[in-house]
A and B are shown apart, each in its own frame.
Chain A
Amino acid sequence: MKTRDLIKPLQESDKGWLAINEQNEVVESELSFAEICKKVEKSRKKLIIVPAAESYSGVLA
């Protein structure tokens, strides 16, 4: 199965939250979760909300 490649959109910011569309493009970014939800709540696009971070490597859950 092909992985979902979010490398490029997640390079756009290193803090806050991003709304990403099916083409893996960032359509909104905000610092708080409440703000990003407010921005996208009326959107009819198929979006996902992903936290922005400096690195996604080496994170031990």
Chain B
Amino acid sequence: MSTFSYPYVEPQRGVFLPWIMVRLGNKKEGTRLSKPVVALVDSGAEVSFCSKEIAEYLGIQLRNSTAQDFTTANNGTFTAYKVNDLKLYVCKRAYACEFYVTDSLPSQLPIILGQKGFFDHHKVSFNFKKKEMTLEIM
């Protein structure tokens, strides 16, 4: 079983985030990002999210996608569109990953890797004291 360790990222003094760098691709078009983009590993997110800006760049079509409303921690709501055409490149492999595409993500979080799509593919261990995250492929 393959295990990968990643350091936390400090984007601002005193702020340590479990960010990893991932690539996304469009299964249908055969396109993929040439460089990795930052993604938040978030055990509290039920699903995985991708910003509309990134999805559009990859040529993802939302026309026939199912819309779903989500509630945020501060009780706000937003709509996201389920897509099955995205491929996630992470831990030196790639797999088809269900994402919800929305233009409502905070600009700091263009990709959120949640339970469905990410935690169901990896055993994730956070060690905040060591500022380290370990991903084991399941």
- B9 and A59 within 8 A (CB): no
Report how many A-B pairs have Cβ atoms within 8 Å.
93
Contact partner, B10, options A7, A41, A47, A48, Cβ 8 Å: A7
Nearest A residue (CB) for B44: A61
Known contacts A1-B132, A4-B7, A53-B107; A61 and B40 CB within 8 A of each other: yes
Specify the main secondary structure of chain A where it touches its partner.
loop
Chain A interface residue count, Cβ-Cβ cutoff 8 angstroms: 29
Known contacts A37-B57, A59-B106, A60-B74; A48 and B7 CB within 8 A of each other: no
Known contacts A1-B132, A33-B53; A40 and B35 CB within 8 A of each other: yes
Binding site for A on B (CB under 8 A): 5, 7-17, 21, 33-38, 40, 42, 44-45, 51, 53-54, 56-57, 72-74, 106-110, 112, 130-132
Binding site for B on A (CB under 8 A): 1-7, 10, 15, 19, 32-34, 37, 40-41, 43, 47-51, 53, 55-57, 59-61
